[in-house]
């Protein structure tokens, strides 16, 4: 189980007892401020614990939803536009306006890691918005997967999200022409 510093202090009592637990092998320090009861943890679990307010987005969210087989080199984390810069080299930060940041956030467990991730409907909007900035092959692969699962998605939710985003007419047109 991955713990942040505050959770580790709560579990062991105080900083001294925590350092004793680390020395005794009861808990392992994985990174600054990140501890675990296991010697090793999935990197994604560490990232999600380290940045609890961030949301998994971008290419990594498409991968986590099973919409592509391509494993991205970095974890794409969305934060509000006023958030501090994330300095972790494993992370690519995506700044999102406050008024649309919370749309479509869900919690999902994948391989024992609890993820804060945008739902598939929100990620479809993000795909259509990023059409010209992502590799064409990746865009087509994800689009094909969306066409296969379109009846599993909540269309009303996609339309609701599209209406809130800038260039909503362009998004709606792309949705009608390329997906539905």
Per-residue DSSP letters for the chain?
Answer: -EEEHHHHHHHHSSHHHHHHHHHTTSSEEEETTEEESSS---HHHHHHHH-TT-EE-HHHHHHHTTS-S---SSEEEEEETTSPPP--TTEEEEEE-HHHHTTTEEEEEETTEEEEEE-HHHHHHHHHHTTTTS-HHHHHHHHHHHHHHGGGS-HHHHHHHHHHSTTHHHHHHHIIIII-
Tens of pLDDT, residue by residue over 71-84, are 999 999 999 999 99
Does the pLDDT of residue 180 top 80, yes or no? Answer: no
Asked if residues 75 and 55 have their Cβ atoms less than 8 Å apart, the reply is: no
Residue range 51-74: mean pLDDT, rounded = 95
- Kindly state the tokens that stand for 175: 């949705």
Angle subtended at Cα 140 by Cα 137 and Cα 146, rounded to the nearest 5 degrees: 145
Q: What is the model's pLDDT at position 169?
A: 83
Nearest Cα residue to 5 out of 76, 129, 15: 15
Delimit the domains of the chain by residue range: 2-41, 46-179
Tens of pLDDT, residue by residue over 159-179, are 899 889 888 888 888 888 877
d(CA 147, CA 162): 18
State the pTM of this model: 0.89
């Amino acid at each position: 189980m991955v713990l942040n510093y505050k959770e580790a202090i709560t579990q062991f009592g105080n900083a001294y007892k925590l350092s004793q637990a680390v020395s005794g092998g009861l808990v392992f320090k994985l990174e600054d401020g990140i501890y675990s009861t296991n010697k090793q943890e999935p990197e994604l679990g560490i990232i999600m614990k380290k940045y609890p307010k961030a949301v998994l987005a971008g290419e990594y969210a498409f991968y986590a939803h099973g919409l592509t087989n391509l494993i991205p080199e970095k974890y794409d984390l969305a934060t509000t536009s006023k958030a501090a810069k994330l300095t972790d080299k494993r992370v690519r930060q995506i700044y999102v306006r406050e008024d649309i940041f919370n749309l479509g956030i869900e919690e999902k467990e994948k391989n024992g890691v609890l993820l804060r991730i945008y739902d598939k409907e929100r990620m479809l909007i993000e795909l259509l918005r990023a059409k010209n900035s992502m590799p064409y092959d990746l865009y087509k692969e994800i689009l094909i997967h969306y066409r296969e699962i379109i009846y599993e998605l909540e269309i009303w939710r996609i339309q609701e999200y599209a209406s809130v985003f800038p260039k909503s007419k362009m998004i709606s047109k792309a949705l009608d022409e390329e997906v539905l």
